[in-house]
Amino acid sequence: MSVDIRFRRRAGIAVAVGAVAVLVTGCAGTASGGTSDGSASGDESISGQIVWADFGGPTNESRQVAYFDGFYDETGVDVVSSSIEDAVYYPMLEGEDGDYDVFQVSTADILAYPDHIQEIPEAAQGDLIDESLRPYVVGGFYIGVAQGWLTDTFADGGPQDWVDFFDTDKYPGKRAWPGSPGFFDASYEIALLADGVAPEDLYPLDLERATAKLDTIRDDLVFYQSYPEVQQLLSSGSASIAVSVTGQFKALQNAGQDVTVQWNQAFQALNGFVVPEASNNPDAVMALAEWINTPENQAVFTERTGYGPVNSEVFDLISEDIAANVVNSPDHADGLLQWDEQWRADNKDLLLDSYTAWLAG
């Protein structure tokens, strides 16, 4: 899918990024393999620390194992994780100062706020990302937004699509549902599909129709404020089904739970991180970006999280069983749906305001 990003890059930023690319060339080799004897190189071209902002939980823990620990051993640069806050990262997307050196965004964020995002080196760019987005996405991965449940909850099989999800008589129990305005995810698309809208007719989203459909099961929804809460809601029985990013279901599986993920009508979306113009340590971030794109490192992250890789070489390193359970596996291609990222970017404020108002009742 080609995305017309229409980036308007200032010449000053381009020159600065070019200078960064030269600076990190010396550490690119060490970041992807280290010294010949495997010892840390301690590359002196980068130093300090990187403040990395994401949603925490098991996905962040997996980044620590797959990326951050090795990067510290290799370079001496510590990656300090921070819980991402809308009040910090939105101003940074608009060019203001802030605490983050790199932070998590959706594709819609990149499309909506292109002017204050730095480009990354070619060696850090995932080849499975659309060419128009590759230069801007650090640590990219493909998420799925799907419904999932503990397999024993529905002994005869659970919901097959979003219409079934809304059928609380046939599939009783509470539904875990996004409760924070900042991550409405596929809420409106799901509601419209459940109300009979065909996938190809979803956009432009009819928000009034979608919220009316959501109101029909509002009393059956349990709202979570962070993704890791999904695991607790399912494992405790507080919810029988959850709508979430599929990494939360993978985390439950890693903990020994038997979880069913319904891939039919699941949404596949690119996620990743950006380097804001106001990043305090861009040289180190660029080196980290290359380290993350190394197939061996990215394969560890994929195996632990179930999120799809952005480097095609990863599929040569992971087993068929692992590959079959990541969202951008060819096994799932026929049932997956895609967001219209440009429409969502163009209407980001509308979506955020509408979902905020709906949550408030």
pLDDT in tens, 281-331: 999 999 999 999 999 999 999 999 889 999 999 999 999 988 878 888 877
Is residue 175 within 8 Å of residue 220, measured between CB atoms?
yes
**pLDDT grade for 108, boundaries at 50, 70 and 90:** confident
Does residue 125 lie in a domain region? yes
**3-state secondary structure (DSSP) of residue 104:** strand
Residues 110-148: b if buried by 16+ CB within 10 A, e if exposed: bbbbbebbbbbbebbbbebbeeebbbbbbbbbbbbbbbb
Q: Is residue 171 domain-shared with residue 186, that is, in the same domain?
A: yes
Q: Is residue 114 domain-shared with residue 138, that is, in the same domain?
A: yes
- pLDDT tens string 132-143: 999 999 999 999
Does residue 64 lie in a domain region? yes
Q: Is residue 201 domain-shared with residue 343, that is, in the same domain?
A: yes
Q: Is residue 352 domain-shared with residue 253, that is, in the same domain?
A: yes
Q: What is the pLDDT of residue 43?
A: 59
CA distance linking residue 94 with residue 346, whole number of Å: 15
Q: Is residue 159 domain-shared with residue 230, that is, in the same domain?
A: yes
What domain count does the chain have?
A: 2
Q: Is residue 223 domain-shared with residue 355, that is, in the same domain?
A: yes
Does residue 55 lie in a domain region? yes
CA distance linking residue 204 with residue 184, whole number of Å: 16
Single-letter amino acid code for the residue at 188: Y
Does residue 357 carry a pLDDT above 60?
yes
Q: What is the pLDDT of residue 333?
A: 76
- Summarize the confidence of residues 8-37 as an average pLDDT: 34
Q: Is residue 157 domain-shared with residue 243, that is, in the same domain?
A: yes
**pLDDT grade for 33, boundaries at 50, 70 and 90:** very low
The CB density around residue 3, as the number of other CB atoms within 10 Å, is 18
- What are the CA-CA distances from residue 269 to residues 272, 310, 328 (Å)? 10, 12, 9
Cβ burial of 91 (10 Å; 0-12, 13-18, 19+) is middle
Q: Is residue 62 domain-shared with residue 177, that is, in the same domain?
A: no
Q: Is residue 279 domain-shared with residue 344, that is, in the same domain?
A: no
- Summarize the confidence of residues 334-342 as an average pLDDT: 90
Does residue 3 lie in a domain region? no
Joined together, the tokens standing for residue 75 give: 């370079």
**3-state secondary structure (DSSP) of residue 24:** helix
- Residue-number span of the structural domain to which 219 is assigned: 143-269+332-360
Cβ burial of 223 (10 Å; 0-12, 13-18, 19+) is middle
Q: Is residue 113 domain-shared with residue 189, that is, in the same domain?
A: no
Does residue 4 lie in a domain region? no
**Segment among 20-24, 86-90, 125-129, 241-245 with least mean pLDDT:** 20-24
Single-letter amino acid code for the residue at 193: L
Does residue 1 lie in a domain region? no
Q: What is the pLDDT of residue 181?
A: 87
Q: Is residue 31 domain-shared with residue 107, that is, in the same domain?
A: yes
| Cα-only R_g, the chain | 20
Share of the chain above pLDDT 90, in %: 72
Does residue 2 lie in a domain region? no
**Bridge partners, 241 (sequence order):** 175
Q: Is residue 127 domain-shared with residue 85, that is, in the same domain?
A: yes
**3-state secondary structure (DSSP) of residue 105:** strand
Is residue 242 within 8 Å of residue 248, measured between CB atoms?
yes
**pLDDT grade for 20, boundaries at 50, 70 and 90:** very low
Residue 29 is part of a domain; what is its CATH number? 3.40.190.10
